[in-house]
Amino acid sequence: MTASDDGRGAGLACLWADGHMSLDVLADIVDHIAHPIFVKDRRHRFVLLNREFSEMVGFPREEMFGKTDYDFFPKEQSDYFRAKDLEMFETRARVVIDEEPITDRSGVVHVLATTKVPLFDARGEPTHVVGIIHDITRLKGVESELRQANERCRQLVERRTSELRAAQDVLVRKERLAVLGQLAGGVAHQIRNPLGAIRNAVALLRGAAEARLDPTSARALAVIEDEVEAADRIVKDLLEYARVRPPHRKPTEVGYVLEQALGAQVLPASVKVRREVPDVVAPVAIDADQVQVALYNILRNAVEAMPDGGTLTAGAWQEGDRVVLAISDTGPGIADAVRTRVFEPLVTTKPTGLGLGLTTAKALIESQGGTVQWENPPAGGARFLVRLPTSAPPGE
């Protein structure tokens, strides 16, 4: 072996020639290993530490020699280190620890993968434990970030999938509504003509034979008239649904529109009306004709929910840049079977009608830039909340 300039090569050659290596040389070799390494004796005292270990834990080697884990690390961690040392001495075999924490002098927690191996004396008894450490803190951090990124991706995919499904549902619904609207307009016109003829025929019969009508015949004519009116109302709903056009918005007093919608109702004597519309409510930017139709449909729904009578309440108040119209009834409230489908077309709990009134109302209100919602108040009945903007969008 050729000696180096500082003579270390010759020294090592002498050591190897003697078959022994001094502790200083061993320590110097260990000191140049890129992983933290320690050696403890049977009393669990540190007898050898390399530079990497000292830098990792933040304690000078001179301070750690002859002391144990309990002098530097939290008790819970030291208990774990001691248990693994004892396991190695008892089994006299290598102990591999895939993951364990250690807190350095500054309080930073490192995650370690540690292998502990025994050193034996001439009699074959384990005298020391050698710990070889891989600091996997950064790796665990990357794993944690990767898990978080995967979770964010999963949530994003779920959200986007949900949004896509919702968009597809909306698209399908719009396509169905468009077809329904076209069909409704055509059918309504075809039905309205024979209804007019029936109405005229009944009027002629009643006028020609009114004095001679027996009670049974009079009731029969009344039934025909009632059914014609019911059919005509269905036709009207179909036409309103099919004729939703872009609104022509201008400032309008909500009280006026509400009174127009109330005045168009046929209110039974058993239904009382309570108005709660203060004069201080600001005008709203709406198409008055369209909103009147929407409110008429909501009011009619409320009246029909009280066949045995009750109280119909119409109120309004300011809510920021919106005016809220509240229409309440004292009926049974929205049935559980239709709570999620109140505004869907052809959904109704009534024996007659197509279930287009609230659908049309929602479309008309939303075309104004407003919203319509419903609730079953704790006191009973149902309440519809219509929110309308007090100003039109720029450009209107």
- Residue 28 resides in a domain: no
387 and 262 fall within a common domain? yes
Of 243, 270, 286, the one marking the end of a domain is 243
Supply the range of the domain harboring residue 323: 247-396
Contact 284, 389 (CB under 8 A): yes
306 and 186 fall within a common domain? no
How does pLDDT run across 280-336, given as a tens digit for each residue? 677 888 888 888 888 888 888 888 888 888 888 888 888 888 888 888 888 887 777
256 and 396 fall within a common domain? yes
- Residue 143 resides in a domain: no
268 and 392 fall within a common domain? yes
Number of structural domains in the chain: 3
Query: What's the pLDDT at 3?
Result: 36
252 and 229 fall within a common domain? no
User: Is residue 241 pLDDT above 80, yes or no?
Assistant: no
127 and 39 fall within a common domain? yes
pTM: 0.46
How does pLDDT run across 25-46, given as a tens digit for each residue? 777 788 888 899 999 999 999 9
Question: Around 20, how many Cα atoms within 13 Å sit in the side-chain half-sphere?
Answer: 4
Q: 306-333 in b/e burial notation, b at 16+ Cβ within 10 A?
A: beeebebbbbbeeeeebbbbbbbbbbeb
- Residue 13 resides in a domain: no
Our CA dihedral for 18, 19, 25, 26, rounded to 10 degrees, sits at -170
207 and 269 fall within a common domain? no
301 and 218 fall within a common domain? no
